[in-house]
Structure 1
Amino acid sequence: MRTRSPVSGILVGRVSNIADIVNETPAYIAIRQTYLEALPIAAAVLALHDGDLEIHAANTAWKRLDRQRVSGREHILDGVGCADEIVEVMNGDAAAKQFDWRDGGIIDGRHFTVSVAPLCASDRADARVLVTLLDRTSEVQTEKSLRLEMLTDSLTGLMNRAGFVEHLETRMADDGSENYAVMVVDLARFSRVNECVGSLGGDELIITVARRLLSTLRGYDLLARTGANEFAMVVRLIDGPGDVLHVARRVGEVLARPCKLSDFEIKVDCAIGCALAAESGVDAEKLVRHAQIALNEAKRTQRVEMYQPAALAASNRRFTLETELRRAIECESLDMAFQPLMSLDTGRIAGFEALARWNHPDLGIIQPAEFIAVAEESGLIVPLGRWALNRALATLKSWDEEAHRVLPLYVGVNLSAIQVARDDIAGLVGGALRDYHLSGYRLSVELTESAIVADPDRAGRTLDALKSVDAMLAMDDFGTGFSNLASLQKLPIDTLKIDRSFITGMLGDPDKVAIVRAILSLAQALGMTTTAEGIESRELAQTLAALGCTTGQGFFYAPALESGAALKFALDSLS
């Protein structure tokens, strides 16, 4: 059967028999065949004869492919379907052509790169082309295997994050994003499992969880392992957004059953975050990220959470603050304010609490509660604490120099539980006191209850080391944590700071009065001084003084002051 080429209009039919060679001398034929046989790939010389393509010569590799074809009985050129390309090259419409061709099916097919190049001829009627077939089957199969490996989790055989995102992108493009949701499941305390039963036990737990999660899926949902202890699901919405919550409920149920590993029965707690593609209006990668933002909120609330756009804005702000805070610490562009600590007995100043302040040139004033939380989450609390200690002591030293005497003042500096756990606090404090030639009693290191309760033994060693350099020690926000009174008795603490939640409104609340009186009695019995936070009236200051509180701070006396104003306040109080 002949067909007309859409490119040239020349009739192109089935190729001629290989032996059908015309107008060629034996010497030329021999040289040409020798050249073709020297090629490491299948090759043939073709020409047009009466409008039909003829093979004038072919090497052994070409003939072998013709015999081994897996997709039909026609000659190999009929399978390639390159008649148009050959005619274009013969007519001079193209210098050369190259394209890929698969011979056979997806599973058992072979892959070739087909090249068509012109051969020199005396005129157009004598034009010939060289057609070569480069077998790339092994290369293509290796590439597919590597790609599959790149997109698959080696432990569970599920898709990994890259494969999950790619598959989700395809589904959203084919079916519409409004039909899908993403759910992310995080296994809590997974590192503790590895510690208890080893990495092999941890792997066994992951495989068990994967099997259970697969049992919750419907036929059109998809599961992937996107992190060490994190799984993600593509949930097809059939009856509406409620489908994803229904799947989440089933996930919670199957994971509530304990898993048996070695001699342990482990109950897997999980957090679940979900995001709807229709509401997110984003691509697959961002949709997964939105589900993970919801997951972070789920870890905090201990319930299934749906992504809210406000959560993304909050996440972006935290990231921005982290970046800017790191730069501010490195450039020392933070400020420090000082709130007076007043003696309730004499009414004169006893010291100051140093408080970090941040006024960003673009973001404006950023509240301490916000940037300190970011610092603790990101690990920047350690360099921030070091900066605060050095700035406070440098300011105290500058006050002495400006007053031309050693002022009877101390400065309190807050250190976080994270810094106590990670930093050499005693060495840091001792070095700073030596650098500024200050006595240890002029520094009060304030630690929260959580910093002490988290690791009492380490905290005890740290406090003992701090006492060796004569620094004062204060327990901040006392009464809001879970202090063990037995350990409190053993720790070398000088001052208990009563949290403002007990002080505010105390005069009208007998229960608060009773709590404050109990704390003051406890401190007195242990030989500790006390500081009340949040004093905002004269009556409150007088009541606390009558109850035996040592010092106080609050807006009744003064807000946090910048360095110059704080020095003036101190000198006026001391005069």
Structure 2
Amino acid sequence: MALLPDNLLAAIPPGLMERAMELVSIPAAHLLRGPDGFRVVACNMTFREAGFACADGVSPPPPSLAAHVALFMASRELRQEFDWASGDTVHARFYRVTAARTGADVADRCTLSLVDYTAQERTERSLRREMTTDSLTGLPNREGFGDLVDAVDDRRDRHAVLVVDLARFGRINACLGSLAGDELLISVARRIKGALRARDTLARIGGDEFGILMEIDEDRVEAEHVARRIERALLTPFRLSDYQIRVDCSVGVAFGGDQVDDGEELIRHAQFAVKRAKETGRTEVYQAKAFTVARQEFAMETRLRRAVENGQLRHEYQPICDLGTGRVVAFEALARWRDEDGRDVPPSEFIPVAEESGLIVPLGRWAIEEATRTLAEWDRDANGDCGVQVAVNLSPIQLARDHVVGVVERALEASCLPGRRLKLELTESALVADPDRTAGTMRALKDLGATIAMDDFGTGYSNLAYLQRLPIDILKIDRSFVTGMLADRDKVAIVRAVLGLAQALGMRTVAEGVETPELAQTLAALGCAMGQGFLYSRPVPAEMAYRLIASPTA
């Protein structure tokens, strides 16, 4: 397949050049630079059969090929390979071209040989299309969309990526079947396509996620206009079998620019924005600050995971007192964390991270075990029952993912405590998440003897029917109603109503945020049994908490 050696070609008389070309089984030609550019001085029959009509010594090579040859001849290389395509897009043929000078001292003469790899190229392109196309919708898939975004690298600052995430698709797919789910995706793709401009590109980049690449002018508001058109397009319910189902969506937008390294990063930015859109209920544009916050949360998750695994968390205990006598009747165990840098991380920062990452499950187990262990130590120091309960908060996520009843039972057995010494505090959101499962868990905890308290009552989604049939012993009145109550008649009315409800349901009450004696006296007069707040003590370490029991006046 190779041409004759360069030194041999240089020695061939011009009359024999064409016969020399015929010795080569692949398309080959000999070019000479003239006043008007390169011209073919000799070529073989295979070169002509490949579609290159030429009259030796007269015909120029195709312009695109001549341009490659000119670049080669301008270089100092003796031999060079390059790829070249001839013909239009539909009928293109692809060649691997080898250009060689016919002598090191000849600056205007070269030979070309062409290897046709059109079949291989078409096969590869066909496979590439299959790999980058979604078989259901015919749209580009995740990989194909990434290629499209990468292709606008030089003009990325004039482009935006939108990600559209469908709500309830998983539920529809599970309940109505995969065929209905496929039909829905095809219909959604058509509607979104109809909401786009002609020059915008739609792709399906996930199970229920679509990506859009759009060119923008200087006014970036156009991207948000497109997002609103998409939302409106999906407002009309879809007909699936005998059902008419509305599918809402969340849209995230990310704009290209100098700060974006590649197309993949731009898509990730849009996906991050759509995550925020699910939380806010509106189209969100990617903000670098939010991304930085997310990175910080991931870093905190890593440190918190090590802290949980290495036992670096601790408890502080805040007393709950009888409003009439001021006697300590219980302590609420509150998790505290000092990170590797020696910084005390507030619970308001690490608890949400723990819940989102699932670390709340091992953290919650630790809290129950640590609280019961500490209470058992207080009993030993007091040579018997020290006379208080210990309260631990249960996260809705912990209730949903962990076998809380087994955790509590094992903790009580390990510390040799009766269940009545443990109080478990749940928020109203725990009932909303899975009321039936939560009710069953609460009854099982009651069977162990534990006390059940409803925390932050009045701030969530209270349902009186649930309160009536659930085994709740205590309602904790949120501090937002208690603080400033003496100067606000509306707050007094709310607290009075909660106290009346608790009395009617046979529940005791705890008021949070008690900071003055006057407030404690007023709450007691209204019928509240217990109080918790800075009037009695801030949260303190276990040793100091025990002193509040052993020496109430200390």
Pairwise same-fold verdict (TM > 0.5): yes
Could you tell me which of 131, 141, 148 is aligned with 1:167? 148
Return the alpha-carbon distance in structure 1 between the equivalents of residues 378 and 319 of structure 2. 14
CA apart distance, 1:519? 1.9
Contact 2:313 2:336 in 1 (8 A): yes
Contact 2:482 2:513 in 1 (8 A): yes
CA apart distance, 1:475? 1.3
Judged with a 3 Å threshold, the aligned counterparts in structure 2 of structure 1 residues 242 and 114 are, in CA distance, closer, same or farther, namely closer
- Give the match's secondary structure for 1:396: helix
Return the alpha-carbon distance in structure 2 between the equivalents of residues 238 and 334 of structure 1. 53
Contact 1:186 1:270 in 2 (8 A): yes
Work out whether 1:152 is the aligned partner of 2:120. no
The one-character-per-residue Cα deviations of 1:332-363 (angstroms, maximum 9, x if unpaired) are 22222111111223211111111112222338
- Percent identity, aligned pairs only, is 47
Partner of 2:448: 469
Return the alpha-carbon distance in structure 1 between the equivalents of residues 13 and 539 of structure 2. 93
Partner of 2:278: 299
- Give the match's secondary structure for 1:408: coil
CA apart distance, 1:504? 1.4
1:296 maps to a residue whose letter is K
Moved more, 240-249 or 410-419: 240-249
Return the alpha-carbon distance in structure 1 between the equivalents of residues 407 and 432 of structure 2. 22
Return the alpha-carbon distance in structure 2 between the equivalents of residues 461 and 558 of structure 1. 35
Moved more, 159-168 or 277-286: 277-286
Return the alpha-carbon distance in structure 2 between the equivalents of residues 43 and 277 of structure 1. 46
Work out whether 1:325 is the aligned partner of 2:304. yes
Judged with a 3 Å threshold, the aligned counterparts in structure 2 of structure 1 residues 141 and 401 are, in CA distance, closer, same or farther, namely farther
Contact 1:334 1:359 in 2 (8 A): yes
Return the alpha-carbon distance in structure 1 between the equivalents of residues 15 and 504 of structure 2. 109
Judged with a 3 Å threshold, the aligned counterparts in structure 2 of structure 1 residues 73 and 569 are, in CA distance, closer, same or farther, namely farther
Return the alpha-carbon distance in structure 2 between the equivalents of residues 12 and 456 of structure 1. 97
TM-score by length of 2: 0.83
Return the alpha-carbon distance in structure 1 between the equivalents of residues 258 and 519 of structure 2. 52
Return the alpha-carbon distance in structure 2 between the equivalents of residues 497 and 365 of structure 1. 27
Could you tell me which of 527, 530, 547 is aligned with 2:509? 530
Contact 1:168 1:234 in 2 (8 A): yes
Partner of 1:347: 326
Partner of 2:347: 368
Return the alpha-carbon distance in structure 2 between the equivalents of residues 200 and 552 of structure 1. 58
Work out whether 1:486 is the aligned partner of 2:465. yes
Partner of 1:209: 188
Instruction: Show the 5 A alignment for 1:59-74.
Output: 68-72=49-53
CA apart distance, 1:324? 2.1
TM-score by length of 1: 0.80
Return the alpha-carbon distance in structure 1 between the equivalents of residues 301 and 135 of structure 2. 34
- Give the match's secondary structure for 2:551: helix
CA apart distance, 1:54? 8.2
Return the alpha-carbon distance in structure 1 between the equivalents of residues 49 and 207 of structure 2. 47
Partner of 1:27: none
2:332 maps to a residue whose letter is E
1:184 maps to a residue whose letter is V
2:135 maps to a residue whose letter is S
Return the alpha-carbon distance in structure 1 between the equivalents of residues 480 and 116 of structure 2. 79
The one-character-per-residue Cα deviations of 1:223-282 (angstroms, maximum 9, x if unpaired) are 222222222222322361222222222222212222222222222212222233348565
Partner of 1:428: 407
Judged with a 3 Å threshold, the aligned counterparts in structure 2 of structure 1 residues 273 and 43 are, in CA distance, closer, same or farther, namely closer
Contact 1:70 1:103 in 2 (8 A): no
Instruction: Show the 5 A alignment for 1:170-569.
Output: 170-173=151-154, 175=155, 177=157, 179-238=158-217, 240-278=219-257, 283-362=262-341, 364-569=343-548
CA apart distance, 1:216? 2.0
Moved more, 161-170 or 439-448: 161-170
Structure 1, unmatched stretches of 5+, are 22-32, 47-51, 56-61, 88-92, 119-123, 125-129
Return the alpha-carbon distance in structure 1 between the equivalents of residues 325 and 258 of structure 2. 63
Judged with a 3 Å threshold, the aligned counterparts in structure 2 of structure 1 residues 115 and 241 are, in CA distance, closer, same or farther, namely closer
Number of residue-to-residue matches in the alignment: 533
Work out whether 1:108 is the aligned partner of 2:87. no
1:150 maps to a residue whose letter is M
Return the alpha-carbon distance in structure 1 between the equivalents of residues 482 and 304 of structure 2. 32
CA apart distance, 1:458? 1.0
The one-character-per-residue Cα deviations of 1:55-101 (angstroms, maximum 9, x if unpaired) are 9xxxxxx97x55752454679x97888999999xxxxx86x865545
**What's the RMSD between the two structures over aligned residues?**
4.1
2:129 maps to a residue whose letter is L
1:171 maps to a residue whose letter is V
Contact 1:447 1:476 in 2 (8 A): yes
Contact 1:15 1:54 in 2 (8 A): no
- Give the match's secondary structure for 1:356: strand
1:108 maps to a residue whose letter is H
Judged with a 3 Å threshold, the aligned counterparts in structure 2 of structure 1 residues 243 and 487 are, in CA distance, closer, same or farther, namely closer
Contact 1:15 1:53 in 2 (8 A): no
Judged with a 3 Å threshold, the aligned counterparts in structure 2 of structure 1 residues 498 and 14 are, in CA distance, closer, same or farther, namely farther
- Give the match's secondary structure for 2:177: helix
Contact 1:12 1:83 in 2 (8 A): no
The one-character-per-residue Cα deviations of 1:432-459 (angstroms, maximum 9, x if unpaired) are 1112222111111111112123222211
The one-character-per-residue Cα deviations of 1:494-544 (angstroms, maximum 9, x if unpaired) are 211111122112212222222222222222232222211111111111111
